[in-house]
A and B are shown apart, each in its own frame.
Chain A
Amino acid sequence: MKKLFVLLAVAALGIVTGCSRSTEPSAGDRKKLLVALLPKSKGNAYFISCKKGADRAARELGIELIFDGPTDPDPAKQNEIVENWITLGVDVIAAACENKEGISTALRKARAKGVKVITYDADALPDAREFFVNQATAQGIGYALMDEAARLCGNEGEFAIITGSLTAANQIEWRKYVEERRAAQYPKMKLVDVRPCDDLKDKAQSEATALLGAYPNIKLIMSTTSLGVPGAAEAIKQAGKTGQVKNIGLGLPNENKRYVHEGVTDSVILWKTEDLGYLTVYAADALVKGTLAPGAKSLQAGSLGEFQIQGDNIMLGKPFIFNKNNIDQFDF
């Protein structure tokens, strides 16, 4: 009986306190706009640099920015964060989607509750968001990678791809366009293998070492994850095949400067990640204020100027190729 009494007492206290707090200010009372930025995962330097641009934009616009993301790989975690934000009462959710179909479930729910939704870096299903801030189309990225690869290999030869994981949706899509471009324009280039590195640089190095050994005629290693390029570069360097096997991929300039200058990595393709974050926050702000609505053809984004809109994709621009001629100008 005593036990029951204690339990009931504590529970009652809890409920009383809890219910008395249920009358909370609604979103409209708040002065500042609350924008929630969701990366694919935390602890990823790519998204950290997006955040830098986002922070700058938030300061300029007087917006409150939340930046939070999953710290473990379970696909449901992004959904849970989005749902928490809906309850929290954010005004806009800007999400980089790990899981196209899965996250759309939560994003649709957000829209139904009146939260504005945009995506950036990796899209959800079109009906789950209003706009997609696209750094470059998946086609643009895939084609750019394949074109650069072919250019470096003289349009023929074997190459391999190191991917972050076999399940990441946007990497799957990029690989699809790489293959499409290869089949159409460079039939003499042959893709011999695709190996995942679990987004670990050290594993990418091991995988690249194995690739170099298993395919003696390989001419190029292409990485669709930023963890892959430095790992592969180190492997090529340690195998003594600098110059003989080319190394390209998607990656951040700072992580690759060393190898580009040493001639191990030929080019790194990316886009201005800070600008991506900056544009995303400006788009979020414009969406709430109404200056960005379906059918708009362009968006003014602070100090970066005007950006084109294709359908519901806000285009950051084309993928940018960093090589030894220009990589030192960038710091991210």
Chain B
Amino acid sequence: MPLPANNRQSGGWKAILFRHETVLLLVLALEWFYFNAVGPRFGSLDNMYDILRHSVEIGLLALVMTPIILTGGIDLSVGSLLGLCAILFGKLCRDAGLSPAMAGVCTLGIGALAGGLNATLITSLRLPPLIVTLGTYSLFRGLAEAITRGADTFTNFPASFLFWGQERWLGVPAQAPVFVAVAAGVWLLVHRTTFGRSFRAIGFSPEGARYAGLPVERRLALVYVLAGIVAALAAILYTARLGQARADAGTGYELYAITAVVLGGTSIFGGVGSVPGTLLGVAAVAVLHNGLVHARQPREVAGMLTGALLLLALAGSVVPKMLTARRVRRQTSPSNLQPTETA
């Protein structure tokens, strides 16, 4: 999106101000000030840890959704896959007698396979990701319900496993290092490797990327399989946090993840986006939901405000471009172009 020449002056502070991440940071700051004012316990360390622990699973899904949306795709099945992996993990621990560590490794493998199913259908059959993952969204959840007959749940995990979801490690919630590690990994992948550059290229134009010699299918397969693995990881952490695995775990998480990613400035059309933006998006929504409890507002308000925030964020990213485009059109319209006077 090249800016016309006579707009160079606005390249400075305006560009920064209208950068998505900055706006989001301002939103976060606003939320912070407001909730601190109305809720005395909001700013406490305990609450910060609450926010962190409650947003880890969605944060993981949002992180791995970022490269997918960068390539112009989408994955609606991650929430259902979380549920499926959670109950399979529980089943491996309880019925197959595996230790949580072994069961965890197997579950990650299952996640990879499930992601591989999405990847195969999307890459080898060139099917639209929205539709494929809509189908697997139903399929994975349906399998989870069928395997458990709806009713079966898995509990009684050993304390050493529950530690990961419920206890603190060196003073921070145990999930935090895992989340930070994945966040760092995804950030590296997207922003510092050629893989990441290829994601953007594919998002801009898959055909163009193909002509440029990029192995488009392999890269796409990578992101969807990665999504499967991370969804499985999120499932394990979820089970540790809750102490229970159920077939309906993770219901609706994919939409939260997409909300966070889009809030963070990643374009749903592909090609534009950032991992820090996604993290800010996750933070903005998590702080909003948490803060509203401290402000004694009912949960419905959180939902409505999230919807409004999403719309504002979208409009906010588009309106400056529209204003610029309008200004350019006006400046370059024939009636405005005066022939230069000759003395």
Contact = CB atoms under 8 A, between A and B. Distances in A.
Interface of A: 2-3, 6-7, 10-11, 13-14, 17-19, 21-22, 24-25, 42, 66-76, 79-81, 83-89, 99, 101-102, 104-105, 109, 165-167, 169, 172, 196
Contacts of B32: 14, 17-18
Nearest to A79: B242
B250 interface: yes
Interface in B144-202: 145, 149-151, 153, 155, 162, 166
Instruction: Count chain B CB atoms within 10 A of each CB in A67, A70, A73, A84 and give the residue with the most.
Output: A84
A73 B252 contact: yes
A289 B109 CA distance: 53
B290 interface: yes
Contacts of B45: 22
A67 B19 CA distance: 39
Nearest to B155: A101
A10 B26 contact: yes
Contacts of A73: 248, 251-252
Contacts of A102: 155, 242-244, 246
Given A17-B32, A21-B40, A73-B251, A105 B166 contact: yes
Contacts of B12: 2
| Interface range for B | 35 or more
Given A70-B299, A87-B46, A13 B29 contact: yes
Given A17-B36, A18-B32, A83 B246 contact: no
A83 B121 CA distance: 41
Contacts of A80: 50, 54
Interface of B: 12-13, 16, 19, 21-22, 25-26, 28-29, 32-33, 36, 39-47, 50, 53-54, 57, 145, 149-151, 153, 155, 162, 166, 238, 241-244, 246-253, 290, 293-294, 296, 298-300, 303
B296 A66 contact: yes
Nearest to B31: A14
Contacts of A7: 21-22, 25
Contacts of A71: 299-300, 303
A196 B150 CA distance: 10
A2 B16 contact: yes
Given A17-B36, A71-B303, A85-B293, A105 B242 contact: yes
A298 B253 CA distance: 44
A104 B162 CA distance: 13
B242 A87 contact: no
A200 to B, nearest CB: 15
A88 B39 contact: yes
Contacts of B247: 167
A165 B26 contact: no
A209 to B, nearest CB: 21
A42 B244 contact: no
Given A75-B249, A84-B293, A102-B155, 18 more contacts: A7-B22, A7-B25, A18-B32, A18-B36, A22-B43, A42-B299, A67-B298, A68-B298, A79-B241, A83-B50, A87-B46, A87-B50, A88-B39, A102-B242, A166-B149, A166-B151, A167-B150, A167-B153
